[in-house]
Structure formats: C-alpha cells, structure tokens
Amino acid sequence: MFQLDYSALLPYWQQLWDGALMTIQLAALSIVTGFVFGTLCAIARRSNVRWLSRLCAIYVESIRNTPFLIQIFVVYFGLASLGLSLSAFTVAAAALAINVGAYSAEIMRAGFGSIPQGQIEAGESLSLSKVQIYWHVMLLPAIERVYPALTSQFVLLMLGSSVASQISAEEVTAVTNYVQSATFRAFESYTVLAAIYLALSFLMRLTFWLLGLVIFPRRRRLRTPI
Amino acid sequence: MTNMILSSAHVQFLLWGATWTLALSAIAMAGGGLIGFVVALSRISPLRIVRVLALLYVQLIQGTPLLVLIFLIFFGLPGLGWDVSALGAASAALIVWVGAYLGEIWRGCIQAVPRAQWEAAECLALTRAQRMRYAILPQAVKIATPPTVGFLVQLVKNTSLASVVGFVELARAGQILNNTLFQPFLIYLIIAGLYFLMCYPLSVLSRRLETRVGYSRRKMMTA
C-alpha cells in the first residue's frame, strides 16, 4: 500500500524557499513594469493620435487572445534564434510584464471610462494642466475604482508565472519539478507546491488590501466606494 | 542550419493539433460547466456547510495555478496507484479548474438578478426549486452569457498547458514541428496566430453580447 511521506522533501526546503522567493521577485518586477506600461497604453488608446491608439489596441488584443505559454516561447526561443540570448529570468519577467501590461491596459481603460465627463470639465475650469487632470482627476480615482479587478489580475499573473518553469527559469514550479524527479515523491511534491501557491496568493491579496488602505485615504476615512 | 519551409503536411499536423485544442476545450467546458453549475447553486445554498464547502473548493482551485493541477494529476496520481493518460490528466485538471471559475462567475450572475424578481417569485408561493427554475435561472442565463463566452477565451488559451504533459494539441504540435524545422520564431508566431483565430471571434462576440445584455438589463431594472 502506498504511503504518503512528506519527510522525503525536507532536505529540499531551502531550494523550495529560494524558488518561492524567485516567484515573488518575478511577480513583483513584472507587475510594476507591466502596470506602468499598461496604464500608458490605456492613456494612449484615449489619445487623438490615431496610429498610436491603433497600435495599443493591436497590442492588447494580440496578447489577450494568445496563450501565455506561446508568448513566452516566442520571446525565449524566438529571440535566441535571432541571435539575442537573454537569461531565462529576464525573458520570464519580460514576457510576464508584456502579458500583464495588456490586461491592466484593458482594466485601466475601463477605469478611465468610468470617470464622469463633468469631473474632467470641472478640472479644466479650475485651469488644471493636462498632466494634473490626468493625475488627480483621472488616474487616482480610476485606480481606486478598478482596484479589486487589478488585484485579481495580479494574483492570476503570479499564478501564471508557474509557466516560466517551461523555459527553466528557477522559480518554485521548476524547483518542484526537480525535487519531484530527485525524490520520486510526485504527489507530495505537488501538493506542497499547491500549498505554497495558495499561501502566496493569500499573502498577495493581503498585501494589496493593506496597500489599498495606504493609497486611498479617502476610502479608508469614509468607507464608501468612490 | 536547415532552411525548410512549411509543407502542407506540416500545416495539416498543426490543424490536427488545433482540432484537439478545440476538443479539449469542449470536454473541459462540458465537465466544468456541470461542476460550475453545482458550485454556483451551492455557494448560495441556505445550508451553511454546503456554502462553506463550495467556497473552500473555489478558493483552493483559484489559489493554485492550472499548471500545478495538471502536474498533480499527471505525476501525482500514478504514485497513489491510479494511472492516468495525458488526455485524462489534462481533461480532469481543466474540468476542476473551469468548475471553480465558472461557478464563481455564475454565482455572481444569479445574484445579479434584481432583488424584486426573487421577491415576486416568493410572493407567487413558488418553492425554492421552482423559484430557481422558472424565475431566477432563465434571467441569470441571459446575464451570464457574455462573461461565459469571455471565459471561453481563457479556456481555449489555457488548454495549451496540456502540452507540458505531452498531450498533442496545438502548442505541443508546434513544439514537435519546431524540433524538426528549427525555426522557433516563425513557428511559434504561427501557433500564436492560430490561437488568435480561435480566441478573437469569441472576444468580439463576448463584447457584443455585453452591450446587448446591458441594454436589456437596464430595461429589466426599470420595468
């Protein structure tokens, strides 16, 4: 009869820990860059420059309608075949950032769209500059409104970073694949991995909730949605 | 460096892979839809234990990557004495995964049916089952159509993860082809294009349905 034996994994806890840290690094790096890029894209889609908004639309649609696995292959193997070889970590972070950029662009576009025209006009009549209007009247309220959607998308991205194991970036899934083949304890390894991801996604939601309290003082004080 | 170009046999192989991508999506949608329906109803059940169990299932699955689910079933279950094929593991993982996400989407849609409709059904002395069957679900289906079609895009894309356990669908077919032609940039772009052809129509359809349902919902609210 088969018996579960988690103690076989104990010698590998240091590697699993390092892998989890690498997953966090990957997620954090790509979320920050991807979100900034996506927001710029959302702004560009609202602009009057036709070719620019067209370009952003093509970027968003092509990323959102193709699998991440293929995107990461195109970047990793594609760039290598063109003579540009980057480390697996760089490629994974870049591919993740490109991926989450498209999703945040779409979410932020919805956020910008939900700002009433009257508020923008009010900003204009207070003679705020274009940049000031974008920052105070549009960007911050938009982020506050779509904050839950962004949080979910970022958690999905963190889970999606597991695909980076396919190009041998040493994040936690790749480490577990190695542990599994070294110990022949597949079931135990992958249940531990699932638990690690559960903990990571819980931690991430908690972090974003706390971050929300800091970034949006208005909501903290009034306790009402915007 | 070989400089072969795609022959018609290669294209046929890719299309064969694409058919399996669609078949896998259909299997996952059928099985996952069934689980999702049960989960959606359980999440709003009057019984606390049922609600908690359904919530636990959803949180558990939504907190783990699909890739790990596939690994767990494909590599983990044989260790426990169950042998699973690549197709079996991929379908099972996808079904479980779809069930959690669709369950949560559909719960939202059921709860989005205006409160007055629930009360009206109650006033007509319908039992809970009748209320669901005749009043709530038919309206919820309308609300649920656009997000469900939108979710199909995620599903078609995520079947690509079945390739990691060696099941030959579109992504795996691309890898195999690449192993003979050594033109990763070209081949993976073609694969991406094929996925785009499958997913983009669904995206557009979902967006279109959304505006239409949004319109009829506004009428429903004010009526």
- Assembly ipTM: 0.90
Asked if the Cβ–Cβ distance from B68 to A61 is below 8 Å, we say: no
> Which residue from A220, A180, A171, A167 is spatially nearest to A200, judged by alpha carbons?
A171
The closest alpha carbon to A76, from A94, A62, A54, A91, belongs to A91
Annotated domain spans of chain B: 8-222
Determine the 3-state secondary structure of B131 from DSSP: helix
Domains of chain A and CATH, by start: 12-222 (1.10.3720.10)
pLDDT digits (tens, 9 = 90+) for A34-67: 999 999 999 999 888 999 999 999 999 999 999 9
Joined tokens for residue A132:
């000031």
* CA A15 to chain centroid: 24
Is CATH 1.10.3720.10 the classification given to domain B8-222? yes
DSSP B43: H
Which residues of chain B have a CB within 8 Å of the CB of A110? Answer: none
What is the C-alpha end-to-end distance of chain A, expressed in Å?
A: 58
Confidence (pTM): 0.91
Kindly report the nearest CA distance between residue A101 and chain B, in angstroms: 17
> What are the chain A neighbours of B76 within 8 Å (beta carbons)?
186-187, 189-191
- Cβ distance A201 to B63 less than 8 Å, yes or no, reads yes
Q: What is the pLDDT along chain B (223 residues), one digit of tens a residue?
A: 445 677 888 889 999 999 999 999 999 999 999 999 999 999 999 999 999 999 999 999 999 999 999 999 999 898 888 889 999 999 999 999 999 999 999 999 999 999 999 999 999 999 989 999 999 999 999 999 999 999 999 999 999 999 999 999 999 999 999 888 888 888 999 999 999 999 999 999 999 998 887 766 666 655 4
DSSP one-letter code for B81: T
